[in-house]
A and B are shown apart, each in its own frame.
Chain A
Amino acid sequence: MIPITLTVNGERVTRHVEPRRHLIDFLRLDLGLTGSHAGCEHGVCGACTVRVDGEIVRGCLVLAASLDGAEVTTIEGLSDSGEVADLQAEFVARNAAQCGFCTPGMVMTAADILRHHPQASRAEIREHLSGNYCRCTGYQAIVDAVEATLAQRRQEAGR
């Protein structure tokens, strides 16, 4: 068992983890943060997307033991902070979620677009979201929600 101390959603946590424990199991099983989901556990589907030290990662491809001193943000923390309240409101208004299993990962990735690519075109949004699998929606409402949020933020920034 390996001792780690890290910051998760702004709170310091200390745990002992098995070397094989990946981040998503650590979050879900050890911390009870069930908003992030395990969809494929081989890094393709994006349901486990979380933010580590400011960048989005696949929670299933990161070992918890490697995160001593790291800063982790999950959908729970992102929601509580209000950072993407406008994006989430667009998701609700446009029904950009059906079953919702992909949605936390999708919101984490969309938040990454909002932070790093404020000028993203529709095609660039589609490309950036392409690491997140959604079986239900056909993606269009999700792309619409991100596009509308970007436009709104650009408009507000321009004022």
Chain B
Amino acid sequence: MNEITPASIGLSREDLPNSYIGRSVPRPNVPKLVQGRATYTDDVVLPRMLHAAFLRSPHAHARILSIETAAALATPGVVRVFTGRDIAEVCDPWVAVLDHLKGMKSAPQHPLPLERATWQGEPVVAVVAESRAAAEDGVAALRVEWEPLPAQTDMETALAPGAVVIHPELGDNLVFTRTATAGDVEAAFAAAHKVVEATFVTARHTGVTLEPRSIIADYNRADGTLTVHQSTQAPHMMQGVFAKHLRLRESDVRVICKDVGGSFGIKVHVYPDEVAVAAMARIMGRPVKFVADRFESFTSDIHARDHRIKARIAVDAQGKILGFDVDDLTGIGPYSVYPRTSAIEGNQVVNLCGGPYDFVNYRCTTTVVLQNKAPTCQYRAVGHPIATAVTEGLVDMAAEALGMDPIAFRRINLIRDDAYPRTSPSGMRFEGLSHHASLDKLLEMVPVEKIRADQAAQRARGVYRGLGFASFIELTNPSPFMYGIGGARISAQDGATVRMDPDGSITIASGVTEQGQGTEAILAQIAAHGVGVPVERVKVITGDTQNTPYGGGTWACRGAGIGGEAALQSALALRAQILEVAGAMLQAKPETLDVVMGEVVDRASGTPRLSLAELGRIVYFRGDTLPRDLPRELVQTRHFITKEYPFAFTNGIQACWAEVDVETGMVKVLEHWCVEDCGRVINPLLVDEQVRGGIVQGLGGALYEHCVYDAEGNLLTTTLADYLVPMSAEMPDIHVGHVETPTRESLLGAKGAGEAGTAGAPAALMNAINDALRPLGARVTEQPFTPARILKALGRI
């Protein structure tokens, strides 16, 4: 069922000029990007539009005693000031929990708090003015009287006696805990040949989308509709959120999302300042724009990956893994983030540790606690970089303890490629993975012997280089098991409508969205392939709840696998309809015809019979000449949802070759490799650059990126001079290879590709650094691997 063959759909990947699936087709929407002709939310200007700016809490935890607004209102250009109570008049608070995360709790959150601020950077008062500059002048003129309160910042003490309970009504700071167990961990570890353990830290960091969060909300009192222009990954989800909390009908809310300047999970959440903007537009009956500045991005975009993990691995004398025992602790800020919740990341750590390996004994606990820091939530590769660092860090340590080569150790323990379907000890169901084929492919790409020889030669000169590996699995194509079963109105289904217009051109409207990863390009490829037209005859519509089929949008690597399959099925349905009409016009059986490059042709001979433009002319303008009862709807819609597996797992392996300067502690990544199996590759050009971008994002988190707080909860990294991101000079050339194990859930066979790079890169780099440091008896497990931490591990500071 999963093979796209001439027999299955009348086309093959190779033999027709419009067989686009699997081909590196340039993205049709890149020319506008390179010429500065894109339309990001901040580029949109509406009549009577006002601009919002926010006063944000300077304290990690403080009571709001009074808000003095007179001076702000007297500031030139200022139109209105809104406090939490003003917003609460029209907007209901939310509580971010999911029913299937048993015992989870969080507190109600208003767009602007009514009594207390609970993190530094929380929006507290909004000023609306004729320009952003005037709004900021107004914010500067506000006077808020605060009563600073003790802040709970250290996650290690969040549940200890004497901890500041951030929301007293919850009783304590525990949001969620879950333990997965399989086999007999105690017995396995007691009987093991070797047990090695370590404590890993993954630093709190954030997405740093170059385009900050942006929104324009416009409430039209005349027709009672709210139109929101927003930089978002999930327009339909946001439509539902705005409707529910502003007490509107969902059909009266329209979310429009044109070009998005990067998202990576940052723009799939509900942010209080953005909901406040919608509420202010609702109250004022005119458009209000808010674009976060970089300081606001650092203090109010979601953070992620603030985890401390104590973990151990047990192995037998032959090098077989007996079990993993993992204890994860994570601090998520003062609220679970709506509506996906902030318990998912820890839950993923529980789901994913040990994922690539064949073992039976497993215990993993996550403990998710509150703290007075910016809220954390799902960021690219949610939980995967953490689980992979823990797993692969322990695997390398176990190999070292056994005196085994890390590749040989992985050979013994990676799940066999013929062992599927299979369920992991944490309960994850794998349809088909290719760990060994991926390792084989990687070893074709990485010149291991040459690198080892260079490593030895360099060591003799006092230069320390290391080679590190990291196998990984990645969760993609989520079903309702991710959010829907927990009660969240987040669609796991997606739809596509493909239509043919009179000139024979094709338009596809899809519920998945473009964030730069190439969604619109692959939708065009798939539609062109499925219908049988040149790809340049396809136009794509995404990012508009009023003009696309209902869908979930873009997250958890679902655009290609879910949205792509809906596109393929609707395109094939349209082609069948075209052939039925053509058959009537040509007095031929539809099965003897085909559509190739925009022409109806005789299937056997390839002889052109009728152009789609001529077919369109007849259908739309001379329908009187067609048989009376002939169906002629040249528009088809199909929806797709995965049914067999809760998630389509992908897999892969990365290798990293790095040099550590033992005098300065600086790390230079010399070269990096990744083999990834995302099922059917629709467009290798796009997938490769997705993987590279993901790797660089992972390397950034492992080397530089850190949201640093002091003990009082003050964020110290609020500029790009303090919070470092990878730039081109620090990054290596990256080699990408593929193994293709298509999912059988769909005709297309595609799984997700966007997060694999980020999932594995930090672990591969950590293992490379530790391989370099091994002769010196040093090891690092705390990210980011800063010069100070490396010098400390070397005992030099």
Query: What is the interface of chain A, defined by CB distance below 8 A to chain B?
Result: 18, 20, 28, 33-42, 44-45, 47, 74-76, 79, 88, 91-95, 97-104, 107, 123, 125-127, 129-143
Which residues on B sit within 8 Å (CB–CB) of A102?
210
Bound state CA distance, A47 and B297, in angstroms?
A: 16
Is A37 touching B734 in the complex (CB atoms < 8 A)? Answer: no
Decide: A142 near B728, CB < 8 A? Known: A92-B26, A136-B516: yes
Which residues on B sit within 8 Å (CB–CB) of A92?
26-27, 30-31, 34
Most A CB atoms within 10 A — which of B43, B259, B262, B686? B262
Closest Cβ neighbor of A129 among chain B residues: B728
Decide: A97 near B34, CB < 8 A? Known: A37-B261, A135-B209, A139-B728: yes
Is A141 touching B689 in the complex (CB atoms < 8 A)? Answer: yes
Closest Cβ neighbor of B31 among chain A residues: A92
Decide: A135 near B729, CB < 8 A? Known: A92-B30, A100-B30, A100-B516: no
* CB contact between A99 and one of B32, B34, B210, B757 (< 8 Å): that residue: B210
Which residues on B sit within 8 Å (CB–CB) of A45?
210, 294, 720
Any A CB within 8 A of the CB of B607: no
Closest Cβ neighbor of B685 among chain A residues: A95
Q: What 8 A-B pairs have minimum CB-CB distances, sorted nearest first?
A: A35-B36, A100-B33, A99-B516, A101-B261, A138-B692, A75-B36, A98-B516, A44-B720
Closest Cβ neighbor of B29 among chain A residues: A100
Which residues on B sit within 8 Å (CB–CB) of A125?
728
* CB contact between A138 and one of B30, B294, B517, B695 (< 8 Å): that residue: B695
Any A CB within 8 A of the CB of B381: no
Any A CB within 8 A of the CB of B38: yes
* CB contact between A107 and one of B34, B263, B728 (< 8 Å): that residue: B34
Any A CB within 8 A of the CB of B211: yes
Decide: A99 near B733, CB < 8 A? Known: A75-B35, A133-B725: no
Known interface pairs A92-B27, A99-B209, A100-B261; 5 further A-B residue pairs with C-beta atoms within 8 A, sorted by A's residue number: A39-B294, A98-B516, A101-B261, A129-B729, A133-B720
Bound state CA distance, A29 and B504, in angstroms?
A: 40
Which residues on B sit within 8 Å (CB–CB) of A141?
689, 692
Is B689 touching A98 in the complex (CB atoms < 8 A)? Answer: yes
Which residues on B sit within 8 Å (CB–CB) of A35?
35-37
Any A CB within 8 A of the CB of B264: yes
Any A CB within 8 A of the CB of B697: yes
Is A138 touching B731 in the complex (CB atoms < 8 A)? Answer: yes
Bound state CA distance, A45 and B724, in angstroms?
A: 11
Bound state CA distance, A74 and B35, in angstroms?
A: 10
Is A95 touching B689 in the complex (CB atoms < 8 A)? Answer: yes
* CB contact between A139 and one of B211, B212, B686, B731 (< 8 Å): that residue: B731
Bound state CA distance, A129 and B731, in angstroms?
A: 12
* CB contact between A127 and one of B208, B211, B729 (< 8 Å): that residue: B729
**Which residues B512-537 have CB closer than 8 A to chain A?**
515-518
Is B727 touching A79 in the complex (CB atoms < 8 A)? Answer: no
Q: What are 26 A-to-B residue pairs whose CB atoms are below 8 Å?
A: A33-B36, A34-B40, A35-B35, A35-B36, A44-B720, A47-B210, A92-B26, A95-B27, A95-B686, A95-B689, A99-B515, A99-B516, A100-B33, A100-B34, A129-B728, A129-B729, A130-B727, A131-B727, A132-B728, A133-B210, A133-B725, A135-B210, A135-B262, A135-B693, A135-B725, A138-B757
Is B697 touching A44 in the complex (CB atoms < 8 A)? Answer: no
Bound state CA distance, A88 and B31, in angstroms?
A: 8
Which residues on B sit within 8 Å (CB–CB) of A18?
133
Render B690-730 as a binary contact track against A, CB cut-off 8 A, 1 for contact. Answer: 10111111000000000000000000000111000101111
Is B721 touching A95 in the complex (CB atoms < 8 A)? Answer: no
Any A CB within 8 A of the CB of B293: yes
Is B689 touching A99 in the complex (CB atoms < 8 A)? Answer: no
Bound state CA distance, A107 and B689, in angstroms?
A: 18
- Contact residue range for chain B? 35 or more
Nearest chain A CB to B263 CB, angstrom units:
8
Closest Cβ neighbor of B687 among chain A residues: A95
* CB contact between A126 and one of B27, B38, B516, B729 (< 8 Å): that residue: B729
Query: What is the interface of chain B, defined by CB distance below 8 A to chain A?
Result: 26-27, 30-40, 42-43, 133, 207-212, 259-264, 293-294, 515-518, 685-686, 689-690, 692-697, 719-721, 725, 727-731, 733-734, 757
Bound state CA distance, A91 and B36, in angstroms?
A: 13
Most B CB atoms within 10 A — which of A44, A75, A100, A126? A100
Nearest chain B CB to A116 CB, angstrom units:
17
Nearest chain B CB to A90 CB, angstrom units:
9
Is B262 touching A104 in the complex (CB atoms < 8 A)? Answer: no
* CB contact between B36 and one of A34, A41, A98, A139 (< 8 Å): that residue: A34
Decide: A98 near B517, CB < 8 A? Known: A34-B36, A42-B294, A88-B34: yes
Bound state CA distance, A101 and B33, in angstroms?
A: 8
Bound state CA distance, A94 and B697, in angstroms?
A: 20
Most B CB atoms within 10 A — which of A28, A107, A137? A137
Is B728 touching A143 in the complex (CB atoms < 8 A)? Answer: yes
Bound state CA distance, A48 and B618, in angstroms?
A: 51
Decide: A42 near B33, CB < 8 A? Known: A126-B728, A129-B728: no
Is B261 touching A42 in the complex (CB atoms < 8 A)? Answer: no
* CB contact between A44 and one of B207, B261, B719 (< 8 Å): that residue: B719
Nearest chain B CB to A146 CB, angstrom units:
10
Is B294 touching A41 in the complex (CB atoms < 8 A)? Answer: yes
Bound state CA distance, A35 and B43, in angstroms?
A: 9
Is B721 touching A136 in the complex (CB atoms < 8 A)? Answer: no
Bound state CA distance, A34 and B210, in angstroms?
A: 15
Closest Cβ neighbor of B37 among chain A residues: A35
Is B697 touching A103 in the complex (CB atoms < 8 A)? Answer: no
Nearest chain A CB to B382 CB, angstrom units:
17
Is B38 touching A140 in the complex (CB atoms < 8 A)? Answer: no
Bound state CA distance, A36 and B212, in angstroms?
A: 14
Is A103 touching B33 in the complex (CB atoms < 8 A)? Answer: yes
Bound state CA distance, A135 and B36, in angstroms?
A: 18
Is A100 touching B38 in the complex (CB atoms < 8 A)? Answer: yes
Bound state CA distance, A159 and B515, in angstroms?
A: 42
Which residues on A sit within 8 Å (CB–CB) of B31?
88, 92
Closest Cβ neighbor of B521 among chain A residues: A95
Is B261 touching A95 in the complex (CB atoms < 8 A)? Answer: no
Which residues on A sit within 8 Å (CB–CB) of B689?
95, 98, 137-138, 140-141
Nearest chain A CB to B601 CB, angstrom units:
30
Nearest chain B CB to A139 CB, angstrom units:
4
Which residues on B sit within 8 Å (CB–CB) of A103?
33-34, 36
Which residues on B sit within 8 Å (CB–CB) of A38?
42
Decide: A97 near B720, CB < 8 A? Known: A35-B36, A37-B211, A138-B692: no
Decide: A138 near B696, CB < 8 A? Known: A42-B721, A44-B719, A143-B728: yes
Decide: A101 near B30, CB < 8 A? Known: A129-B728, A136-B693, A139-B728: no
Which residues on A sit within 8 Å (CB–CB) of B516?
97-100, 136
Decide: A130 near B728, CB < 8 A? Known: A35-B37, A91-B30, A103-B33: yes
Which residues on A sit within 8 Å (CB–CB) of B721?
42, 44
Which residues on A sit within 8 Å (CB–CB) of B212?
39
Which residues on B sit within 8 Å (CB–CB) of A33?
36
Which residues on B sit within 8 Å (CB–CB) of A97?
30, 33-34, 516
Which residues on A sit within 8 Å (CB–CB) of B261?
37, 99-101
Decide: A79 near B35, CB < 8 A? Known: A98-B689, A138-B696, A140-B734: yes
Is B720 touching A101 in the complex (CB atoms < 8 A)? Answer: no
Is B33 touching A140 in the complex (CB atoms < 8 A)? Answer: no
Decide: A76 near B693, CB < 8 A? Known: A101-B211, A140-B734: no
Most A CB atoms within 10 A — which of B261, B518, B697? B261
* CB contact between B693 and one of A94, A104, A138 (< 8 Å): that residue: A138
Which residues on B sit within 8 Å (CB–CB) of A91?
30, 34
Nearest chain B CB to A113 CB, angstrom units:
12
Which residues on A sit within 8 Å (CB–CB) of B38?
100
Which residues on B sit within 8 Å (CB–CB) of A95?
26-27, 30, 518, 685-686, 689
Bound state CA distance, A93 and B689, in angstroms?
A: 12
Decide: A140 near B262, CB < 8 A? Known: A35-B35, A39-B211: no
Which residues on B sit within 8 Å (CB–CB) of A47?
210
Bound state CA distance, A41 and B692, in angstroms?
A: 27
